[in-house]
């Protein structure tokens, strides 16, 4: 029997990238992970790391997330973080806002087996129809989630991997509250599957 929504162990994942170039997809330069148990974010589980890349961060990406090539000096390679990611993501339901980017970057670990995946972008469109924008920052502003995030993450800022991961968790929690599904089977979260 599947767990109830309120019983699920969630791990939100977010990557920031070096930016896309002609004929090249972006590469990850930062990862953030935050967990939620019993619908409560767990501050002690927060994790962030810059990621080494051979590609320079584009000017436009630097303007968005503020990560520079200097920030990446001495950072670990994504592949070297496998034990850390396995421990933090394994056995949990993975949360991301617009999960395609996170899934794409995790292809570095074929057969990783993380999931099931909950895309808060897709879930928001289902639960909150008719919004002009479903951007994470816009939905967070609507529900004042940044105010909720700051006590848990004082250096919260948009387009920073851990901050966006935490915002995704808080948005998921709000969507669960608004729809009254905490005591439903967790599969109800798998919209579009």
Confidence band of 36 (pLDDT split at 50, 70, 90): very high
Q: Which domains does the chain have, with CATH numbers?
A: 5-188 (3.30.420.10)
Torsion angle of C-alpha atoms 119, 50, 111, 13, degrees rounded to 10? -20
Please give the model's pTM, rounded to 2 decimal places: 0.94
Output DSSP code: residue 189. Answer: G
pLDDT in tens, 42-79: 999 999 999 999 888 888 888 888 898 899 999 999 99
Q: Residue 175 has which token pair?
A: 């969507």
Contact yes or no for 2/187 (Cβ under 8 A) = yes
Strands 28-37, 10-17: pairing is: antiparallel
Whether residue 116 is preceded by a cis peptide bond, meaning omega within 30 degrees of 0, is yes
Region 176-185 average pLDDT: 96
What are the strands, taking DSSP E only, across 38-149? 40-50, 93-96, 117-119
- What is the reported pLDDT for 23? 57
Mean model confidence pLDDT for the chain = 93
Task: Report whether pLDDT(193) > 70.
Answer: no
Give the tokens for residue 13.
Answer: 């994942």
Per the listing, tokens 């034990």 go with 83
pLDDT on residue 21: 65
d(CA 159, CA 61): 10
């Amino acid at each position: 029997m599947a767990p109830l929504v309120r019983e699920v162990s969630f791990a939100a994942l977010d990557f920031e990238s070096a930016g896309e170039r002609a004929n090249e997809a972006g590469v990850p330069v930062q990862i953030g992970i935050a967990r939620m148990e019993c619908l409560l974010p767990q501050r002690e589980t927060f994790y962030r790391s810059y990621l080494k890349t051979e590609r320079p961060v584009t000017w436009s990406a630097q303007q968005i997330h503020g990560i520079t090539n200097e920030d990446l000096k001495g950072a670990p390679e994504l592949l070297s973080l496998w034990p850390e990611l396995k421990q933090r993501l394994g056995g949990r339901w993975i949360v991301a806002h617009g999960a395609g980017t996170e899934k794409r970057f995790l292809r570095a670990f074929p057969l990783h087996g993380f999931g099931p995946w909950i895309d808060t972008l897709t879930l928001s469109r289902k639960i909150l129809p008719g919004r002009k924008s479903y951007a994470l920052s816009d939905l967070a502003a609507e529900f004042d989630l940044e105010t909720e995030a700051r006590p848990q993450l004082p250096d919260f800022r948009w387009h920073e991997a851990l901050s966006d991961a935490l915002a995704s968790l808080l948005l998921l929690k709000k969507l669960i509250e608004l729809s009254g599904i905490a005591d439903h089977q967790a599969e109800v979260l798998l919209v579009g599957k």
